[in-house]
Amino acid sequence: MLDNQSLYKTMLRIRRFEERALAEFSTGKLFGTTHAYIGQEADAAGIFAAADPGDVVFSNHRCHGHFIAYGGDPYRLAAELMGKATGLVGGRGGSQHIQWRNFYSNGIQGGIVPVAAGMALAEKVQNTGKVALVFTGDGTLGEGVFYESLNIASLWKLPVVFVVENNRYAQTTPVELALSGSICGRFAAFDIPAWERDTTDVLEVRAAAAEAVGYARAQTGPVGLILRTYRFAAHSKGDDVRAPSEIAAFKDKDPLTVHAPRLGDDERARIEAEVAAEIEEAFTRAASDPFPMMKDEK
């Protein structure tokens, strides 16, 4: 089990990565768009502290934090964001479409959910003992295929962990305008046990994730993991319509702030320096890498 320092480092690595990525748009090294995970770091850090390294992951548009917590290399991700040949998928996918080991992501809301269920089925029939984790947001609960997937996962007892990161917004739309009923109730309707936490404390997330993932693995069946969180950055780049006062009110829930007191000042300073160097190295190295060339396609 990861110690407090490791959890802090993972969260900080995500934070600094995302800050740097956003900054690199103004330098012209990044182009297009990206969805920063800033504020939600406890989710990824806690979940991947509880999952097995071999588990299968399908992530969404906001995938950088998931990828880094999964153990992915920030340099390969930075290179992908810059469209470099050395990127995770050679510059073909970019921010939302990455693949490495058992980690996959796609930028279509909802469509990844049945795919993850199918992955869980494949792991189940091949007796690998792996579970599939799929990441969605509150807004993605508007997609019908999400419920088709809950239904099938429950009927067929598929070991899939449906993670819902409820950051209270879908792009600009507050959850109150997009979501009726309760998220928990959605899982209950399909007889899928769900763990819901309103927390940005990585230890609480890890504890809930350990129960949920453990249950999915032990029972070979689906579970829900609903995490109430908040994102501090804009949805993608410049599309924030929230009042600054609202964002400010969540600042004391910053997962780094919540977890920091569990480390000594020296430890934090050391981790801060290590992560800063790592991120600097990742982006500098990626920046000097070559761009991809078209391959001959048949």
Ligand X SMILES: Cc1ncc(C[n+]2csc(CCOP(=O)(O)OP(=O)(O)O)c2C)c(N)n1
Give me the residues that bind ligand X (CB under 6 A), please: 35, 61-62, 107-110, 136-140, 165, 167, 169-171, 235
Inter-residue contact 107 to 120 (CB < 8 Å): no
- Would the CA dihedral through 79, 81, 87, 90 be positive or negative? negative
Shortest gap between Cβ of 247 and Mg ion (angstroms)? 14
- The residue within the footprint of other proteins, chosen from 2, 90, 207, 260 (CB under 8 A), is 90
- The residue within the footprint of other proteins, chosen from 45, 120, 141, 282 (CB under 8 A), is 120
Q: Give Cβ neighbours of residue 254 (< 8 Å, ≥ 6 apart).
A: 39, 200, 232
- The residue within the footprint of other proteins, chosen from 65, 72, 83, 114 (CB under 8 A), is 114
- In degrees and rounded to multiples of 5, residue 4 shows phi and psi of -60, -35
- The residue within the footprint of other proteins, chosen from 70, 104, 195, 232 (CB under 8 A), is 104
**H helix intervals, the chain:** 4-26, 41-50, 64-70, 74-81, 112-125, 144-155, 175-178, 183-189, 202-219, 244-249, 255-259, 265-287
Inter-residue contact 35 to 62 (CB < 8 Å): yes
User: 59 contacts which partner out of ligand X, Mg ion, other proteins, none, CB within 5 to 8 A by kind?
Assistant: none
Of the pair 61, 197, the CB lying nearest ligand X is at 61
Of the pair 183, 202, the CB lying nearest ligand X is at 183
Of the pair 239, 280, the CB lying nearest ligand X is at 239
Measured distance between the N- and C-terminal CA atoms of the chain, rounded to whole angstroms = 47
Inter-residue contact 196 to 164 (CB < 8 Å): no
Binding string, residues 92-131; x marks residues near Mg ion by CB under 5 A: ----------------------------------------
Of the pair 58, 215, the CB lying nearest ligand X is at 58
Q: How far is CA 249 from the centre of its chain?
A: 23
Does position 125 interact with other proteins (CB under 8 A)? The reply is: yes
Residues at the site binding other proteins, with contacts judged by CB under 8 A: 56, 58, 88-90, 92-93, 97-100, 104, 106, 108, 111-123, 125-126, 132, 144-145, 148-149, 151-152, 155-156
